[in-house]
Structure 1
């Protein structure tokens, strides 16, 4: 296997890297062509979902025993960023349909193998709002779950709840694996940005599950490896703190989207003529803004590389979860501000519905509102951590 180190980080297999970037470009370009339709319909098209499946993107970070080319972190991150350069809703789902198999790999093998071999996309919404009641042979689960991204195309979903176990004196947050066919889907997704993600609502009404369908996140926090023996020692998620690895895609897609905004700003500024007849590219204002956007872009990329380096260094032992969260929040905030600054500087024509800067800025703002991206939370948590306060932030 060819291993190369470039300015952008460690790439284990350069030929595979180039192949994956072409797959990402195909997904992104197709999604970009249907961006306005996806925005209006509040979901990507079936065509885009089919390409993600056809290119086997949801297989790329499975353990190698399944026969697919498990990616390194740099390749995975750049794949998500590449799709994000063309369309952030498609990038969001490309990332999720890949990453969601990771927590499936912590289930007992018979469950893991059933889900993976069935081949369906997996969604999740782990907000612990579910109600779990013990019954003979297992549990009955009920709850109303919002923001279930990509659920329109998924066969499986993980939902969250709080449960008490005999070996722990405190209640725990858990994930519960369900078949989407057993649930009610309400198509009510109508947000400011990331409209193409189709993040609709699920109703779980007294669905029976066996005990082995319950995933205890506390066990993953304690140990990055799964509870069974004979697991893939090289698997990506078994060799890094789980939560930083699970959340890295949010920063990755933001970088891709912000890079597109900078290019659009430069292009539209170069072709813009004021009422006075002055070419905007000759304006000191736009010249300074472009310089600032470029520097912020470099800074965001450098922070993302640092994040990847940390994941490659932390091998499942003690790690600074608050630092990961702060870096990710800083990256996403920089990218969001790139969008806002570009939009405000370009003026009214960039505000028109469907203008690339308008669309990407709305999507970047939406990424920044995700619970794992909130800037003030990230900075406060890291500051408390630096002063020795136990924040219990997992990444």
Structure 2
């Protein structure tokens, strides 16, 4: 265990950071719902806690986290507020793909200190020009873009060493782009996932990340030419399972809070008949069911971490990772729905913790990487030996 001082472990320090962020986000949750974004105060706290520097190679002088610590960090923020967990996860994890860019560009991004957003839907139009390329496209659902300095956008491109077009990520400076406020969602309202317009922006070739290269080899471009951080989290993990782990992690934190809130509010309720709700067999049964489902969710999360640690640098089952992750999120969402329906009308009031958490869990479940039916169908195909092209 790495000690940052004589009495505090790295893990404990990360959990303290997460709690500070989560508690402020919970205080501001109602206003974030109205504003459809977190506040500058919360963004500044995430920055001052250096969350955006946690997932970086050791050369940049920040702690090297293990998967359990990172997952628990995101889960702890999620216990208090899932929009904040969403952005805490993104602002840290997005440096993972930055770490695969050529070192001079990577150094520039890290030195700027700015948050990194991304939207890798491959809808961009790329044209070759002298010295590089131009990129155009309109991208929706760009979480955290209000406070980001950099953004990665997706496109398909053709390269001389590949017969087929391949999906790429392109690093852009947000100052060159237009942000359109458009986020008016059921849940995760504080994520500020607005629309981004890229209009004929010039990029150099080194700003283009070929995802196929990452899938083929988890190490960075300079790995064969010079020393690199062999212990860096993402250089030793199947990239996509590692990149998507935060969706499940935050759902676990949200589910834990729902179960705690259900127990607390049930204990304080009295039915019209005078019977205390915590003495009602129906509520006792529901709390038991929710608690067992939470046990299952936490067990699946531990299995996911185990697989990432086991599969580093080796072949891996992408459909299995996706099915586990989607199951965690689906079960967490159902915990929220069951708790809300059982607690009754008072839990429907805007701002009630279970009301907010359930909406946010539903929003996580709609993310393209979380869709349960797609995930389990793909895993079933995989188990029968049918190719799925699911990368995690």
Q: 1:316 Cα deviation (Å)? A: 2.0
Using the alignment, how far apart are the partners of 2:80 and 2:106 within structure 1? 33
Using the alignment, how far apart are the partners of 2:2 and 2:146 within structure 1? 39
Partner residue, 1:196: 190
Partner residue, 1:123: 117
Q: 1:14 Cα deviation (Å)? A: 7.7
Match of 1:373 among 361, 370, 375: 370
Q: SS at the partner of 1:377?
A: helix
Q: 1:279 Cα deviation (Å)? A: 1.0
Partner residue, 1:348: 345
Q: SS at the partner of 2:197?
A: strand
Partner residue, 1:282: 279
Structure 1 segments (4+ residues) deviating >3 Å:
none
Residue 2 of structure 2 contacts residue 10 of structure 2 at CA under 8 Å; is this kept in 1?
no
Q: 1:271 Cα deviation (Å)? A: 0.5
Stretches of structure 2 that go unaligned for 5 or more consecutive residues are none
2:384 aligned with 1:387: yes
Q: SS at the partner of 1:215?
A: strand
Which structure 2 residues correspond to residues 94-109 of structure 1 after superposition, within 5 A?
94-109=88-103
Deviation track 1:71-107 (CA, whole Å, cap 9, x = no partner) reads 1100000000000000000000000000000000100
Using the alignment, how far apart are the partners of 2:129 and 2:59 within structure 1? 36
Partner residue, 1:8: none
Partner residue, 1:225: 219
Partner residue, 2:141: 147
Residue 2 of structure 1 contacts residue 14 of structure 1 at CA under 8 Å; is this kept in 2?
no
Q: 1:2 Cα deviation (Å)? A: 5.8
Q: 1:278 Cα deviation (Å)? A: 1.4
Residue 160 of structure 1 contacts residue 173 of structure 1 at CA under 8 Å; is this kept in 2?
yes
Using the alignment, how far apart are the partners of 2:245 and 2:127 within structure 1? 34
Aligned residues: 386
Partner residue, 2:261: 264
2:325 aligned with 1:332: no
TM-score calculated relative to the size of structure 1? 0.96
Residue 143 of structure 2 contacts residue 194 of structure 2 at CA under 8 Å; is this kept in 1?
yes
Partner residue, 1:301: 298
Using the alignment, how far apart are the partners of 2:89 and 2:2 within structure 1? 25
